[in-house]
Structure 1
Amino acid sequence: MSHNVSLTFDGDRAYVALDRPDKHNGLTLDMLRELVRVAGVIGKRSDIRAVILSGNGPSFSSGLDVAKAMGNPLDVVRSFVPLPWRGTNTFQEACWAWRRLPQPVIAVVHGRCYGGGLQIALAADFRFATPDSEFSVMEAKHGLIPDMTGAATLSRLVGIDKALLLTMTADPVDAPYAERIGLVTEVTADPLAAAEKLADRIAARSPHAVASAKKLFDRSWQASVRRTLAVERATQLPLIIRQALDSDKKQK
């Protein structure tokens, strides 16, 4: 069962696509688990030199499908608990699994790239986006914070003032602005072609050097990821509890 995530191989490339186009690739818990599984499959393939991550339909992803996810609150709670040997929960691993891969991961973005969808794109090593793409750290609209590794990835890409601005306002920003602040690697009319061209350039280098470069920067860039993700969970949990209590009061 695909759980709305497709995986195809073409030569030395893996193509992963979010595949719930009628919902702008709104993320379900099954999709998050499938992303983790698919990343694990790719990680076992030494012949794969690059991963291209995209979304089918009108958008890369509109973020977590909150209504669908909250249809099973117990499943959300289980998914929020981190696995001790990884230091991530299901929400976080759906993003960070791409950082764990030795291969470079290139996100191809179009349409909406919001919330959890944005955090998946930020966990890629590179992001190519169409000029009409829109980006939003939209969790504040739901009284929450980004908790799918967004704190770790934003801190590596933009300054703290821009990270706070995006997070506190939850305002959507356009692709040129995203490129200017470092959220996007490049804005281009054909992001897939740009991603494939970059994949070709990287494939011409030693796969061991490429994997080692990725590991080097991930392990040495600013604060430890494990610490950042633990803080992320600890900060989010009271907000989730508050939202649940407020919802319960409204129902009464």
Structure 2
Amino acid sequence: MGDHITVRFDDNRAYVELNRPGKHNGLTLEMLRDLVDAARKVAEHKTTRAVILTGNGPSFSSGLDIAAASRNPVAIVREFLPRPLRGTNTFQEACWAWRRLDVPVAAAVHGRCFGGGLQIALAADFRIAAPTTEFSVMEAAHGLVPDMTGAATLSQLIGIDKAMLLAMTADPIDADYALRIGLITDVADDPVKAAEALADRVTAREGNAVAAVKHLFDRSWHRNSRATFAAERMAQLPLLLRKALSSSD
């Protein structure tokens, strides 16, 4: 695992931190792969009862570092291909891996929570935000669509009109508005401490029941997430190809 994703186990919690603070935790392809590996590592740590996702530095994550990713278009194509058994590619699995865990996952967010960073937070079971956090479904600003499971998670959390407005405009919104429309769970001055308190409340209950509730709701709230992930890829692919062809002219 690279230096930009760290995993720490403390008692019955796992802390997974995006650790590229100088770039506002802009996501690289390596970080996305490492997030998948981090979720696997957490799953193998059998005493873990809850996960807290955080970002080091001034932001949770400013989203995909497009400049860094564009240096290796072959790698983008490789990571874009779906895993046959999972039904997700690397971009999607970096988010959805947290839904696959048997334990609750809380994202403690602050600063910028944009694009792919927002989609990681949305894939957590709960989101606690600092009052000054800014959110944006940023992909439209780059001529793209949210394709890191955002279509699935947005459809679970907010109405279709609000989801389309966020995805079409890429307008930033504040924490109060995000809470009002159901994008986040709560606002707290210290989101990590609030996420820990939430984790304590949930993990006070029997672990098998908590896991069963999580998977039951995931399966029933959105009945065909695999088809949604395929639709994300099909919507994104021509946009990516058009951008690649135009940049090569």
1:17–1:55 contact (8 Å) kept in structure 2: yes
1:171-182 to 2 correspondence within 5 Å? 171-182=171-182
Map Cα deviations across residues 195-220 of structure 1 (whole Å, 9 max, x no partner).
Answer: 11111111110000000000101111
2:2–2:30 contact (8 Å) kept in structure 1: no
Map Cα deviations across residues 130-184 of structure 1 (whole Å, 9 max, x no partner).
Answer: 0000000010011100000000000000000000000000000000000000011
2:190 maps to 1:190: yes
- Check 1:74–1:3 CA distance in 2 against 1; reply closer, same or farther (3 A cut): farther
Distance 2:131 2:54 in 1: 16
Give the TM-score normalised by the residue count of structure 2.
Answer: 0.99
1:25-174 to 2 correspondence within 5 Å? 25-174=25-174
2:152–2:222 contact (8 Å) kept in structure 1: no
Gaps of at least 5 residues in structure 2 are none
Distance 2:50 2:2 in 1: 21
1:3–1:30 contact (8 Å) kept in structure 2: no
Tell me which residue corresponds to 1:207.
207
Give the TM-score normalised by the residue count of structure 1.
Answer: 0.97
| Offset at residue 223 of structure 1 (A) | 3.5
- Give secondary structure in 1 for the equivalent of 2:59: coil
2:247 maps to 1:247: yes
- Give secondary structure in 2 for the equivalent of 1:52: strand
Taking only the aligned residue pairs, the percentage that are identical comes to 66
Tell me which residue corresponds to 1:237.
237
Q: RMSD over aligned Cα, in angstroms?
A: 0.7
Deviates more, 1:106-115 or 1:214-223: 214-223
The aligned length equals 249
Distance 1:230 1:52 in 2: 28
Runs (4 or more) in structure 1 with deviation over 3 Å come to none
Distance 1:155 1:30 in 2: 28
Distance 1:236 1:12 in 2: 39
Gaps of at least 5 residues in structure 1 are none
